[in-house]
Chains A and B, each alone.
Chain A
Amino acid sequence: MRSTLVIGIGNTIRGDDGAGIRVAERIAARHTDVDVLCVQQLSPEHADTIARYDRLIVVDASVTADAVRVTPLHAAEGMHMPRTHTVTPEGVLTLTSTLYDHVPSEAMLVEIPASQCGFTEELSPSTAAFAATALGIISRHVTEN
């Protein structure tokens, strides 16, 4: 299998915002040959890690998605400024390409619909269901490709 990195993004004490991390943790338990990173936000030094992989899957909660959304990620052309310490998935991919002249041959963003981001460690029922869907999609993808 291609070397694969899954990055889960979120804050697990803010309800549905932690969905990306919940999914990434379950990927780690299910696929021992996949490397998993759980972070609150992407930052520039993740470029150093991403440069070593053939495949990148970023999992994050989204308040704008109404279904699990899978979007290919590409290093952008030209210079994009990372916003202080935090970088978008495209930004970190661009940084990886610029610094290391290498990006994973496949990169995607998996977004999980989130609606309740209050002070809790639990996912809402709807986001929990979407997280299960996302888990299935990622799991199948890393197994079959």
Chain B
Amino acid sequence: MPTSTITINPVTRIEGHAKITIQLDEKGIAQDARFHVNEFRGFEKFCEGRVLWEMGGITSRICGICPTSHLVTSAKAGDAILSVTIPETAQALRRIITLAQWLQSHALSFFHLSSPDFLLGFDSDPAKRNIFGLIASDKEFAKRGIRLRKFGQEIIEVLGSRRIHTPWAVAGGVREPLEPAKRDYLLNWIPEAKETARLALDTLKKIHVKFEKDIPNYGNFRSLYVGLVAPDGALEYYDGTLRVMDGDGNIIADKVNPSDFHEYFGEATEEWSYLKFPYYKPLGYAKGMYRVGPLARVNICDYIDTPLAEAERKQFKALAGGASVVNNSFYYHYARLIEILFSVEKIEQLLQDPVTMGQNIRAKAMINQLHGIGASEAPRGTLFHDYTVTEDALLSRVDLVIATAQNNLAMNRTVRQLALQYLDGAKVTEGLLNRIEAGIRCFDPCLSCSTHAIGMMPLHVQVVGPENNVLCDVRR
């Protein structure tokens, strides 16, 4: 039985509210760790009764960071309900905006949220361990990060006429084609974006050396990995089929139609969190723990079809030593930067493709199926929108399976591993707190999406004894 509990509430620099509880045994050793998410917005419920055509606009409001992922995935669920194959121009444009979403979200994660830890140090003054501290340390690096994210936002704004909550992707395609002048404007950004992606990768490799003693403790364990791959096994972000790989690199399920997701994956709940616990059904809960997102995608794909990113993928794979899977969650950061580089390269390719400039952008149809599932790779992992509609296009059931939730079991495991390594009795140090937070930030969780919660509070840590008496109370 645990004899005391350490609570970190909430976690800073992630999107949304969360609390971490570490349960200690009589000897003060971490027995268990729980990453609680204690907010609930109920998006799935209040979407019921709305009209299918509104769903892109509604679900994109779930999150201010990845609204475009919800928009595109919602449109894909709509495609399934209309039973249409969208025009190739519409698909190319949706691909570009999906990559723009990766770009801006990954840039935010690396430059704004995680870099202060890396460049200033986990034990540096918390008051300075933020973007202003980063500016003071390396102004040009901080500016580069802001510009890279801006490029992603510019693409979304140019395509969708708005930076956030654009209603541009719709069931059947997209609303507007891309004008040549706008394409040229976006192409002008490419050299700077590539240079920044390279700078970030070079910086991260130095960070790997600097933190070589810390890195093995950041969620370093075998798990399953899940994501979309292209028909030829290439890294996929918009379409494709699901692949499940184990922690030794064995492909245990492949070519799974995303519409069959519920046959392979279940969602467990726990009374102490609003965040669900998805798992791979054949292995059961919680043995079926899996990871999604950049680490999973770069692990499971056979190759990346852009040259610079593919060269980096090979270096990434070398981190596994003789094995074929990189199981350390710290390398989410590396995979994220590889995906930034890939996004820039792929966006350039797509913008230069004449198909992208076509004028046939939308297939129109009425309701032809009463059920449809859309799937795409959001920045944090595979995103599913599962809709059931009436013949009048009213939503009767909505199930949103979010990337952050799919990493829930792995995030809990990561926190436990860090607590075992760094926790000394019930003494809570800033360094310990920030390492645990940094462990969670490897996954770049978006609680706004996963529970549809929104908000932010300062850090609060409590150590609670067996009689629920507060042994230690730390606030940042």
Which residues of chain A have a CB within 8 Å of any CB of chain B? 11-14, 37-41, 43-45, 47-49, 79-86, 94-95, 98-99, 119
Q: Are B136 and A99 in contact (CB under 8 A)?
A: no
For the complex formed, measure the closest distance between the CB of A9 and the CB atoms of chain B, giving whole angstroms.
Answer: 11
Q: Are A80 and B150 in contact (CB under 8 A)?
A: no
Chosen A-B contacts, 13 in total, with CB atoms closer than 8 Å, are A13-B57, A38-B163, A45-B147, A45-B149, A79-B128, A79-B133, A81-B127, A82-B131, A84-B456, A85-B108, A85-B112, A95-B132, A98-B135
Q: Nearest residue in B to A12 (C-beta to C-beta)? A: B165
State the CA gap A85–B445 with chains docked (Å).
13
Q: Nearest residue in B to A86 (C-beta to C-beta)? A: B64
For the complex formed, measure the closest distance between the CB of B368 and the CB atoms of chain A, giving whole angstroms.
Answer: 28
For the complex formed, measure the closest distance between the CB of B397 and the CB atoms of chain A, giving whole angstroms.
Answer: 19
Q: Which 4 A-B residue pairings sit nearest by Cβ, starting from the closest?
A: A79-B132, A45-B150, A81-B130, A83-B456
Q: Are B139 and A48 in contact (CB under 8 A)?
A: no
From B13, B14, B57, B132, contact of A98 by CB (8 A): B132
Q: Are B130 and A44 in contact (CB under 8 A)?
A: no
State the CA gap A43–B12 with chains docked (Å).
16
Cβ of B142 within 8 Å of any chain A Cβ, yes or no, is yes
For the complex formed, measure the closest distance between the CB of A45 and the CB atoms of chain B, giving whole angstroms.
Answer: 4
Chain B interface size band reads 20 to 34
For the complex formed, measure the closest distance between the CB of B24 and the CB atoms of chain A, giving whole angstroms.
Answer: 30
Q: Are B146 and A47 in contact (CB under 8 A)?
A: yes
Contacts of B149 in A (CB 8 A): 43-45
Q: Are B113 and A84 in contact (CB under 8 A)?
A: yes
From A11, A82, A83, contact of B61 by CB (8 A): A11
For chain B, residues 417 to 461, give those with C-beta under 8 angstroms from any C-beta of chain A. Answer: 456
B-side binding surface: helix, strand, loop or mixed?
helix
Number of A-B contacts (CB under 8 A): 77
Q: Are B139 and A40 in contact (CB under 8 A)?
A: no
Q: Are B146 and A84 in contact (CB under 8 A)?
A: no
Q: Are A79 and B130 in contact (CB under 8 A)?
A: yes
Cβ of B58 within 8 Å of any chain A Cβ, yes or no, is yes
From A80, A85, A94, contact of B64 by CB (8 A): A85
Cβ of B143 within 8 Å of any chain A Cβ, yes or no, is yes
State the CA gap A111–B135 with chains docked (Å).
30
For the complex formed, measure the closest distance between the CB of B109 and the CB atoms of chain A, giving whole angstroms.
Answer: 10
Cβ of B84 within 8 Å of any chain A Cβ, yes or no, is no
Contacts of B136 in A (CB 8 A): 79
What 0/1 pattern do residues 111 to 154 of B give for CB contact below 8 A with A? Answer: 01100000000000001101111011001001100110110010
Contacts of A39 in B (CB 8 A): 163-164
Q: Nearest residue in A to B116 (C-beta to C-beta)? A: A81
State the CA gap A29–B135 with chains docked (Å).
37
State the CA gap A38–B147 with chains docked (Å).
19
Interface centre among A45, A47, A81 (most CB of B within 10 A): A45
State the CA gap A99–B57 with chains docked (Å).
34
Contact A40 to B164, CB < 8 A, known contacts A45-B147, A86-B64, A98-B135: yes
Q: Are B146 and A40 in contact (CB under 8 A)?
A: no
Interface centre among A12, A44, A47, A82 (most CB of B within 10 A): A44
State the CA gap A98–B138 with chains docked (Å).
12
State the CA gap A79–B147 with chains docked (Å).
21
Interface centre among B14, B130, B136 (most CB of A within 10 A): B130
Q: Are B132 and A81 in contact (CB under 8 A)?
A: yes
State the CA gap A95–B131 with chains docked (Å).
9
Cβ of B224 within 8 Å of any chain A Cβ, yes or no, is no
Cβ of B361 within 8 Å of any chain A Cβ, yes or no, is no
Q: Nearest residue in B to A100 (C-beta to C-beta)? A: B143
Q: Nearest residue in A to B50 (C-beta to C-beta)? A: A119
Contacts of B135 in A (CB 8 A): 95, 98-99
State the CA gap A82–B134 with chains docked (Å).
12
Q: Nearest residue in A to B14 (C-beta to C-beta)? A: A84
State the CA gap A47–B456 with chains docked (Å).
21
Q: Nearest residue in B to A94 (C-beta to C-beta)? A: B132
State the CA gap A80–B135 with chains docked (Å).
12
Contacts of A119 in B (CB 8 A): 46
Contacts of A81 in B (CB 8 A): 127, 130-132
